[in-house]
Amino acid sequence: MKRALAIMVGAALILLLATLTLVVMPYLQMSAEQVPPDLKPYTEQQQRGRQVYIANGCVYCHSQQPRDPSFAPGDKDRGWGRPSVPGDYAYDEPHLLGTMRTGPDLFNIGARQPSIDWQLMHLYNPKAIIKGSIMPSYPFLFRHVKEPVEGDKVVNIPPPYGPETGKIVATEDALALAEYMLALDHTYPAPTLPKAPPKSDEPKENRAP
């Protein structure tokens, strides 16, 4: 029994060590990180949109973390933005960094596609806007009505993607999600860039798109 216990205690100690280095220390360091002054907290509606993003698993295809151009030039060149810093995520709970780019990075989608109509149309059916897109459509975030009533947000879908009769109206969830997309705009300058120095021939201004 003594030896069995020794193994289990040893195993637990090693994990404790890893917890210190991989959980506690980064937490302390990053929570001391400066929050960029231009970063605005989410509004209630944007936060709700964030929940819709989580509920429907957008994170499995989209990242929110452009990399440093000296490391991976494609990110900036595609217009995805400057490298993100810990402070950019100060209001993100849970984080939605993502590890797949089946679709493009969304860290600055609000700056790239600032129109709410574009966002709604795209959510209703991505193919209506981007030929050959493999993003699924989200019809369940919309209502199909005969006659929109006062206050309804009508989304005009180009044929043949819309319904033959009646109108498509965004639900609260769709509006919230679209607002969240617009809030993903991190084009302000970052106070601290990652410690790994970008190549010195990279002028500072170039980091923000």
Positions 151 through 190 that interact with other proteins (CB under 8 A): none
Q: State yes or no: residue 165 binds ligand HEM (CB under 6 A).
A: no
Of these, 36, 137, 161, 191, which contacts other proteins (CB under 8 A)? Answer: 137
In the list ligand HEM, other proteins, none, the entry touching 149 (Cβ below 5 to 8 angstroms by class) is none
Size of the site for other proteins (CB under 8 A): 83
Q: State yes or no: residue 100 binds ligand HEM (CB under 6 A).
A: yes
Strands of 81-133, DSSP E: none
Identify whether the C-beta of residue 115 lies closer than 8 Å to the C-beta of residue 155. Answer: no
The dihedral region occupied by 208, where left means phi > 0, alpha psi between -120 and 50, and beta the remainder, is beta
Q: Which is nearer to other proteins, 29 or 43 (CB)?
A: 29
In the list other proteins, ligand HEM, none, the entry touching 133 (Cβ below 5 to 8 angstroms by class) is other proteins
Of these, 40, 41, 60, 101, which contacts ligand HEM (CB under 6 A)? Answer: 60
Q: In what order do the strands lie in the sheet with 142-145?
A: 142-145, 167-170, 154-155
In the list other proteins, ligand HEM, none, the entry touching 185 (Cβ below 5 to 8 angstroms by class) is none
The strand pairing partners of 148, in sequence order, are none
DSSP state of 139: G
Q: How far is the CB of 86 from other proteins (least distance, A)?
A: 4
Q: State yes or no: residue 99 binds ligand HEM (CB under 6 A).
A: yes
Q: State yes or no: residue 31 binds ligand HEM (CB under 6 A).
A: no
Binders of other proteins among residues 45 to 64 (CB under 8 A) are: 54-61, 63
Q: State yes or no: residue 57 binds ligand HEM (CB under 6 A).
A: no
The strand pairing partners of 154, in sequence order, are 169
Q: Write the CB contacts of 61 (distance below 8 Å, at least 6 apart in sequence).
A: 98, 100, 101, 102, 103, 135
Integer CA distances (angstroms), 11 to 17, 22, 125, in order: 10, 16, 51
Q: How far is the CB of 99 from ligand HEM (least distance, A)?
A: 4
> Within 10 A of 199 (CB to CB), how many other CB atoms are there?
9
Name the residues that contact ligand HEM, by CB under 6 A. 60, 99-100, 102
